Amino acid sequence: MTAVGGGAGLRGKVAIVTGGASGLGRATALALAKAGARVVVADLDAQGGREVAETIDGHFRACDVSDLDANRALVDFAQECYGGVDIAFLNAGVATGCGIGDDFDPARYRRAMGANLDGVVFGTHAVLPALRARGGGSIVATASLAGLAAVPLDPLYAANKHAVVGLARSLGPALAPDNVRFNAVCPGFAESRIIDHLRGMLSEQGLPVIPAELVADTVLRIATGEGTGECWFIQPGRDPEPFRFRNVPGPGRPAGV
């Protein structure tokens, strides 16, 4: 697939950003618009989403990404506004808010899985016809470093983010015949509402928070690049790059290959 390019190369391209009212979504919506794209901002936070859309001369659509019909309506809205879709940043997500032991809360669990996993699955299903109609496009999903490593303090969050990583690795090659690239971005502790309950701990331990703008720049690199099925990690003090997964041992495969 031909890369959509950076900077002015995004002029004429149409992007959807879920979870676009704040944090990583807001920063990416601003970066996409600065690069020339026309952007539809989606979020449950109508006030914040409209403010972002107005800032970038885009459009806002209220959307619960855990609802399949809402995702379909969002894509229809983008097509009505701009005639098509080229890029989808499926970013909406929430903190889990419970564990799997005595504090397990089925409602919180379903809310987290609905936003963090269903939102990516439903968003992908909904946007694929629009991308195919344009001859191809790019989907970037927000996973997390929690999708690449064990997270004993929040195993449910790790579970849905590992699922997003698995989708990216599998859908990359699966969607290649349609010229649709699917990748994931996996930041560590990045500036967003999702880390609000962790800020005290991060400050006490001297752990830096990744600027949302760095994540946004990485999303644009992914969306305008050539790779597919990649999961890009972002950590302070390191250049973002695709994570190198070790091959699973199989019949006839030497150990460590």
Q: Give me the sheet containing 231-234, strands edge to edge.
A: 59-62, 38-43, 14-18, 87-90, 137-142, 180-187, 231-234, 241-242
Q: Is-catalytic flag, 157? A: yes
Report the distance separating Cα 237 and Cα 90, nearest Å.
26
**Catalytic residue (one of 157, 182, 232, 233):** 157
Instruction: Please work out, in degrees rounded to the nearest 5, the angle formed at the alpha carbon of residue 22 by the alpha carbons of 16 and 25.
Output: 30
Report the distance separating Cα 79 and Cα 74, nearest Å.
9
Cα–Cα distances (Å) from 239 to 114, 214, 232, 233, 243, in that order, read 31, 10, 10, 9, 11
Residues 211 and 187: beta-carbon distance below 8 Å: no
User: Which positions are catalytic?
Assistant: 157
